[in-house]
Amino acid sequence: MKINAFVRIRRELHQIPEIGFKEFKTQQYLLNYISGLPPERMEIKIWKTGIFVKLKGRNPRKMIGYRADIDGLPIKEKTDLPFASEHEGYMHACGHDFHMSIGLGLLTHFNDNPIDDDLLFIFQPAEEGPGGAEPMLKSEVMMEWKPDMILALHIAPEYPVGTIAVKEGLLFANTSELFIDLKGKGGHAAYPHETRDMVIAACSLVGQLQTIVSRNVNPLDSAVITVGKITGGTVQNVIAETARLEGTIRTLNPETMIKVKARIESLVEGLKVGYECLAEIDYGAMYHQVYNDEQLTREFMKFTEAAAGVHLHCCTEAMTGEDFGYMLKEIPGFMFWLGVSSEFGLHHSQLNPDERAIEFAIDHIGDYLTFKGNEA
């Protein structure tokens, strides 16, 4: 394998980040590469901006799936890299360029070096939103090519290259977007008594939302409510008629998500009365928890622990959200963290993962899939 080729591929993909279901250049790039591989054992099917690639095994008894997500984020890149994003205001700030190049590396390797079992490579759009895994799982292609097991990775800036971090059971949290729109009555700043100020209402609501975790969630449970963006008003001397809160909810327990949302709705109803305003809640995209199959994860951990040059780290669960959880809900499998040694974390404008992790991942996952795809 020409590993350096996949570093080059990563850099070229890094330059063309696109958001969910608009990954047109990315899809074409992937198709151009895949169509250049020997076609004898390969079958390709398109789903929206995603791609399925099935590799026929020598003596198939099962199908093993490997998923790589392909979308970027609406973040302005600040890395000053020579291959920085050419799409202003967009960046591969979550490592999906790594995920794709590793996926292509594995596809290339197994196209040249077949194993007994069939392999299904899934290049999935819209992981960052609005969510591509769930509808892709329900697609006609997946119904025809549903794998018997599936795996995926996610880069982890906090771990050094050579590290695989994973655990059995719950790995990533249940997540939900949160959008709250408030509407009152605007007016002149000199006459506040004639208005219903939605900046004041929004500020009050943010404080109230933070009491949910501290006062309504069991201290032995875990939940997060983050309001990451507030917009309201038009100019400094006009009282705001509208305001909008944008945030996220994360829980380790699906039942806790239900309770948190019920409490949010109660607080918003109270706000409507107290501030004499209108309010609407939109939960946007919700992602199911990533729950790793215990048996398959234990097997992978045992394999990884015995591999030369690989450090296995038994991690704890995280409040990270990942729509791969929908696939794991229906198909046995697991996700793991891949160490990439970056000073800056996920979704940061200066994220710069160590590209040595690409070769490491292709080699290690390739060895595991060879072991798994040839077992009696």
Report the 10 Å Cβ neighbour count for 46.
Answer: 11
CA 248 to CA 227: how far, in whole Å? 7
Find out whether 127 and 96 touch, Cβ atoms under 8 Å. Answer: yes
User: Any catalytic annotation for residue 69?
Assistant: yes
CA-nearest of 326, 355, 297, 366 to 155 is 355
Find out whether 195 and 234 touch, Cβ atoms under 8 Å. Answer: no
Instruction: Kindly name the residue from 18, 23, 69, 293 that is annotated as catalytic.
Output: 69
Find out whether 61 and 117 touch, Cβ atoms under 8 Å. Answer: yes
Phi, psi at 275, each rounded to 5°: -110, 10
CA 205 to CA 142: how far, in whole Å? 43
CA 288 to CA 322: how far, in whole Å? 8
Helices (H), the chain: 3-14, 24-34, 96-112, 133-137, 140-144, 198-216, 254-274, 294-306, 324-330, 356-373
CA 200 to CA 186: how far, in whole Å? 12
CA 262 to CA 28: how far, in whole Å? 43
CA 87 to CA 341: how far, in whole Å? 25
For residues 8-23, one letter each, b for 16 or more C-beta atoms within 10 angstroms of the residue's C-beta and e for the rest, the string is: ebbbebbbbbbbbbeb
User: Any catalytic annotation for residue 128?
Assistant: yes
Instruction: Kindly name the residue from 18, 117, 128, 197 that is annotated as catalytic.
Output: 128
Distances (CA, A) of 358 to 20, 33, 151, 311: 24, 17, 17, 16
Find out whether 271 and 205 touch, Cβ atoms under 8 Å. Answer: yes
Q: Which two tokens stand for residue 71?
A: 């979308």
The catalytic residue positions are: 69, 128
